[in-house]
Amino acid sequence: MAGRGKLLLVGCGKMGGAMLEGWLEQGLKPADLAVIEPGEASRPKIDGAAVVAAVDALPAGFVPDIAVLAVKPQTMNDVLPGLRRLAGDATTFLSIAAGKTIGYFRAGLGEDARIVRAMPNTPAAVRRGVTVCVAGPGVSELAKARCTELLSAVGDVLWTPDEGVMDAVTAVSGSGPAYVFLLVEAMAEAGIKAGLPADMAMTLARATVAGSGELLRRSSESAAQLRVNVTSPGGTTAEALKILMSDIGIQPLFDSAIAAAARRSKELAG
């Protein structure tokens, strides 16, 4: 990371912490970093960075070019008043909060505030995240480039001109890692029921999902073709897929799960 400007991270919980790990691994200079995190246990210890418990403890004169807002949507209202003083030309706010709209931030920070709304995911901790971003009014190309630089340090970055897709993005890729981890848990549990020792079942489920993810990443074949490649005619996989791909299989379940997550994202907007 070139580190042309200063970075403020507001909220160093699970997602903020995952991104911070990625940034530090990518060479973010501690001198260019400030973190606001009230929770003592979550507060990172980084020599040379300004790590404080509240916004009023930031070093005088610290003006970030990017302020990453990584607190829960439900606590965002508490955070914005203290950040209003940063809402000048120099700072772009990069929110990763589910649901919270660009309009919400302009109402809370001032109508001229520059807002980028983004949705990353936790594989950012190992530089395999994916983030979708949308820029509000007044965000410069330079600020967009800086957001891309920060987010691409922890994975892939896509920009959309349409904020309306962000609830679905949140439901698919923001929450998505949880669905994959649940899949591992469910495969391991089913393996135990099929006669495997618990530790072997978990080892196999974990390695299978991780290995399949890596194959998917490296392969030019579609997910559907990779599935077909596993499915010998008249074999074992075909029997399992008859159940997983039936009318009461994984697709209708995913349809309702993703719709529920997107609905919740919309509810968190206010």
Ligand X SMILES: NC(=O)C1=CN([C@@H]2O[C@H](COP(=O)(O)OP(=O)(O)OC[C@H]3O[C@@H](n4cnc5c(N)ncnc54)[C@H](OP(=O)(O)O)[C@@H]3O)[C@@H](O)[C@H]2O)C=CC1
Cβ at position 175, least distance to ligand A1CAB in Å: 4
Alpha helices in 121-249 (DSSP H): 141-152, 166-169, 176-193, 198-218, 223-230, 236-244
Write out the H or E segment, with its range, that includes residue 67: strand 66-69
Nearer to ligand A1CAB, 91 or 175 (CB): 175
Site for ligand A1CAB in 130-169 (CB under 6 A): none
| Partner touching 14 among ligand A1CAB, ligand X, none, CB below 5 to 8 Å by kind | ligand X
Report the distance separating Cα 224 and Cα 98, nearest Å. 30
56 Cβ contact partners less than 8 Å away, ≥ 6 residues apart? 82
- 173 near ligand A1CAB, rule: CB under 6 A: no
CA distance 75 to 97: 10
Please select the residue that binds ligand A1CAB; options are 34, 100, 170, 172, rule is CB under 6 A: 170
Residue 108 interacts with ligand A1CAB (CB under 6 A): yes or no: no
Question: For ligand A1CAB, what does the binding mask look like between residues 78 and 107, x meaning CB under 6 A?
Answer: --------------------x---------
Q: Which of 106, 174, 191, 262 binds ligand A1CAB (CB under 6 A)?
A: 174
Taking the complex as a whole, the smallest distance from the CB of residue 100 to ligand A1CAB amounts, in Å, to 11
Q: Given the structure tokens 């618990």, which residue do they identify?
A: 198
One-letter identity of residue 57 = A
State the amino acid at position 86 in one-letter form: L
The CA–CA distances, whole Å, from 10 to 52, 60, 78, 246, 247 equal 10, 16, 12, 45, 44
Q: Which residues are annotated as a binding site for NADP(+)?
A: 70-73
Binding site for ligand A1CAB (CB under 6 A): 98, 170, 174-175
